[in-house]
Amino acid sequence: MTTSNSAPAGDLTSQVLHKLSTQSPILSSEAFPAATFQDVKAALDRLGSRSMVTYETMEREEALLEPEAEQIAAHGSHEARVFEAVREAMEGLTIQELEQAIGDKTVTKLGQGKAFKEKWISKGKDGKLVATVRLIFLWGGDLICRAEPELTPYVSLLQADSIKDSTRAVLLQVKETKTGDAKALADLKKRKLIKLQKVVTFKIDKGPKFALEIEKEETDLTSDMLSSGSWKTAKFKPYNFRALGSDQNAGALHPLNKVRHEFRQIFFEMGFEEMPTNKFVETGFWNFDALFVPQQHPARDLQDTFYISDPKVADKPRPLVEGQNPEEYWNNVKEVHQDGKFGSIGYKYPWSADESLKLVLRTHTTSISTAMLYKLASQKGPDGRPPPARYFSIDRVFRNETVDATHLAEFHQVEGVIADYGLTLGGLMEFMEVFFGKMGITDLKFKPAYNPYTEPSMEIFSYHKGLGKLVEIGNSGMFRPEMLESMGLPKDMRVFGWGLSLERPTMIKYKISNIRELLGHKVDLGFIERNPAVRLEKE
Ligand code: PHE
């Protein structure tokens, strides 16, 4: 069945109606044997939506002969053909003569073996192949015994028993009916003589609005119809609420955005406020100095940080809220680095204001957290002191990295900061368990680490079942007193912070092994359009 020899759908609809007017129900396989499934279905859907016909779908299996089986059906089984050829030659046949008579080497070879097995042929005295003739003794019409001729020299030949080619008989029947006894079909299938194919047939009947012609139905109400009044009598096509809408070709969310959305939900759920991160350029002051990162620290090298060449320097920090005196903060930072202050012995080096005013692409979002904490220092809660706060941000950071499968020069950081009185390291570890637990990351391991701005510092690890190993998921710590007191936060206020990349959990979630497939110019737009939504707590 191909589309080319079937009637077009338009014709088929009226063919269906005409057939039904003389006979109902009808079976599509009998009435339209040449039409394809798609054409019949399209015609029936068209008529069905107008209630002109009703139909049921029936599925059945058809047995179809394989080419070899077609041959057997036409000419007999190999063994039968061998038997017939040998029997016809009264004097017997040599193998070459048999081959010639059959005209097919494989048929001869296979058939000969089977015919021997069935004892239909044997080797005569001169070595030629002869048909085994059986004799049947009849007595008054009743069969009384059978015998091989050489054993019964006294009897006369009454009837030559011919062989029964049962394979051919079964195949002929299957060919005609396309079905057969289940055991026989299974056997034929095993011998690769037939294949079973699913066929869908429709049982079609007249519907409540059956007619021979399809009435034209209006699809739109036009202004002409309104002015002429023809809308009153017009027949309108009912809405098809099951039809698929046309493709809207809308934009798609990038996987990073989907994972970001999940992180934001978790932060909001835990009472965090989102920090404004809408600036990529920072001064060395906010990115490094305020965080107690010494000016000789390798992270501040050109190899690690991108510096802005125009303009080269920034102004000194301005008040972030009214009434602040950034000059005091600036001087505190300078003293902490140079000579030590607030109980810190400092780094003991000549601190350079120029270095602090250099402009950089921020290397972490902790620069934003620092500015937020500086703002917090001048806020007053009910007791006149800075109130507890929870801040988070998810945004882009820049590092002068050599780009490879797991590193990019720009990526996204997820960062959280909690400021409160009486925070403890144990409380912080507990908080981490809860926070990561919300995205399905459990059994955390903490490893002592070093950050210039936190003490103690801990790297956070978790066992990843999919990867079968411990993976680092983040970095964390308690901000140092010399950093917090410099900005004017009370001595007993503790601030805990942590950060992780947005890319790593996204890559794990979407099973991406090369970060360049996720971010940058090599990203495949098809991947963005097709990737599924994500739920962090699952899996
Ligand atoms: N800034 C750290 C980083 O880039 C993350 C961090 C934030 C660590 C806050 C401790 C406290 O990895």
Domains along the sequence of the chain with CATH = 256-530 (3.30.930.10)
Ligand 1 atom closest to the CA of 397, numbered from 1: 4
Ligand 1 atom closest to the CA of 415, numbered from 1: 7
Give 154's Cβ-side CA count (13 Å radius): 0
**The pTM is what?**
0.58
Who has greater pLDDT, 147 or 200?
A: 200
Determine the pLDDT at residue 2: 38
Q: Is 477 in the pocket of ligand 1 (CB under 6 A)?
A: yes
Q: Is 499 in the pocket of ligand 1 (CB under 6 A)?
A: yes
Q: How confident is the model at residue 130 (pLDDT cuts 50, 70, 90)?
A: confident
Question: What is the SS3 assignment for 479?
Answer: strand
| Cβ contact 312:354 at 8 Å | no
Residues paired with residue 469 on neighbouring β-strands, in sequence order:
464
Ligand 1 atom closest to the CA of 496, numbered from 1: 11
Q: What angle do CA 212, 214, 215 make, to 5 degrees?
A: 120
**Ligand 1 midpoint to CA 497 (Å):** 7
State the DSSP string of 186-234: HHHHHTTSEEEEEEEEEEEEE-TT--SSPPP-B-S--HHHHHHSGGGTP
State the DSSP string of 149-173: GGG-TTSPP--PPPP--HHHHHHHH
Whole-number Å distance between alpha carbons of 58 and 36: 15
Q: Is 363 in the pocket of ligand 1 (CB under 6 A)?
A: no
Residues 6+ apart with CB under 8 A from 384: none
- pLDDT for 531 beyond 50: yes
Q: How confident is the model at residue 7 (pLDDT cuts 50, 70, 90)?
A: very low
Q: How many CB atoms lie within 10 A of CB 58?
A: 13
- In this predicted structure, which of 42-46, 328-332, 532-536 has the lowest mean pLDDT? 532-536
Who has greater pLDDT, 415 or 119?
A: 415
Q: Is 87 in the pocket of ligand 1 (CB under 6 A)?
A: no
pLDDT digits (tens, 9 = 90+) for 214-250: 888 888 999 999 999 999 999 888 888 888 888 777 7
Q: In angstroms, what is the C-alpha Rg of the chain?
A: 45
Give 219's Cβ-side CA count (13 Å radius): 1
Q: How confident is the model at residue 446 (pLDDT cuts 50, 70, 90)?
A: very high
Whole-number Å distance between alpha carbons of 75 and 168: 8
**Ligand 1 midpoint to CA 380 (Å):** 27
Q: How confident is the model at residue 537 (pLDDT cuts 50, 70, 90)?
A: low
Ligand 1 atom closest to the CA of 363, numbered from 1: 4
Work out the burial of residue 205: count CB atoms within 10 Å of its CB; fewer than 13 is exposed, 13-18 middle, 19 or more buried. Answer: middle
**Ligand 1 midpoint to CA 100 (Å):** 90
Residues 6+ apart with CB under 8 A from 416: 267, 272, 390, 391, 392, 435, 497, 498, 499
- pLDDT for 270 beyond 90: yes
For residue 439, the surrounding DSSP H or E stretch is none
Whole-number Å distance between alpha carbons of 397 and 393: 11
Q: How confident is the model at residue 9 (pLDDT cuts 50, 70, 90)?
A: very low
Determine the pLDDT at residue 510: 82
| Cβ contact 530:258 at 8 Å | no
Most confident of 6-20, 25-39, 87-101, 355-369: 355-369
Residues 6+ apart with CB under 8 A from 130: 86, 92, 121, 122, 123, 124
- pLDDT for 167 beyond 70: yes
Determine the pLDDT at residue 133: 59
**Ligand 1 midpoint to CA 351 (Å):** 23
Whole-number Å distance between alpha carbons of 181 and 183: 6
- Residue 363's closest CA among 433, 293, 456, 465? 293
Mean pLDDT (whole number) for 496-503: 94
Residues paired with residue 135 on neighbouring β-strands, in sequence order:
147
Q: Is 366 in the pocket of ligand 1 (CB under 6 A)?
A: yes
Pocket of ligand 1, candidates 360, 363, 364, 435: which has the most ligand atoms within 8 Å of its Cβ, to mutate? 364
Mean pLDDT (whole number) for 417-421: 97
The widest CA-to-CA distance across the chain, in whole angstroms, is 138
Whole-number Å distance between alpha carbons of 264 and 81: 80
Work out the burial of residue 461: count CB atoms within 10 Å of its CB; fewer than 13 is exposed, 13-18 middle, 19 or more buried. Answer: middle
Residue minimizing CA distance to atom 4 of ligand 1? 364
The phi-psi region of residue 169 (left if phi > 0; otherwise alpha if psi is between -120 and 50; otherwise beta) is: alpha
- pLDDT for 154 beyond 50: no
Q: What angle do CA 396, 455, 410 make, to 5 degrees?
A: 15
Q: How confident is the model at residue 514 (pLDDT cuts 50, 70, 90)?
A: confident
Residue minimizing CA distance to atom 2 of ligand 1? 499
Determine the pLDDT at residue 160: 41
**Ligand 1 midpoint to CA 448 (Å):** 14
**Ligand 1 midpoint to CA 152 (Å):** 108
Backbone angles phi, psi at 208, to 5 degrees: -60, -25
Whole-number Å distance between alpha carbons of 229 and 226: 5
Q: Is 478 in the pocket of ligand 1 (CB under 6 A)?
A: no
**Ligand 1 midpoint to CA 287 (Å):** 12
- With a pLDDT cut of 70, the percent of the chain lying above it is 91
Ligand 1 atom closest to the CA of 417, numbered from 1: 9
Determine the pLDDT at residue 4: 39
Ligand 1 atom closest to the CA of 499, numbered from 1: 5
Mean pLDDT (whole number) for 50-59: 92
State the DSSP string of 82-127: HHHHHHHSTT-B-HHHHHHHHT-HHHHHHHHHHHHHTTSEEE-TTS
pLDDT digits (tens, 9 = 90+) for 379-401: 999 999 999 999 999 999 999 98
pLDDT digits (tens, 9 = 90+) for 281-298: 999 999 999 999 999 999
Determine the pLDDT at residue 261: 93
Residue minimizing CA distance to atom 10 of ligand 1? 476
Helical packing angle, 9-22 and 37-49, nearest 10° = 70
- pLDDT for 308 beyond 80: yes
- pLDDT for 145 beyond 50: no
Ligand 1 atom closest to the CA of 474, numbered from 1: 12
Q: Is 356 in the pocket of ligand 1 (CB under 6 A)?
A: no
Determine the pLDDT at residue 10: 54
Work out the burial of residue 415: count CB atoms within 10 Å of its CB; fewer than 13 is exposed, 13-18 middle, 19 or more buried. Answer: buried
Work out the burial of residue 17: count CB atoms within 10 Å of its CB; fewer than 13 is exposed, 13-18 middle, 19 or more buried. Answer: buried
Mean pLDDT (whole number) for 427-432: 92
**Ligand 1 midpoint to CA 328 (Å):** 25
Q: How confident is the model at residue 153 (pLDDT cuts 50, 70, 90)?
A: very low
Q: Is 501 in the pocket of ligand 1 (CB under 6 A)?
A: no
Residues 6+ apart with CB under 8 A from 88: 101
Q: Is 416 in the pocket of ligand 1 (CB under 6 A)?
A: no
pLDDT digits (tens, 9 = 90+) for 341-381: 999 999 999 999 999 999 999 999 999 999 999 999 999 99
Pocket of ligand 1, candidates 391, 446, 451, 472: which has the most ligand atoms within 8 Å of its Cβ, to mutate? 451
Mean confidence (pLDDT) of the chain: 87
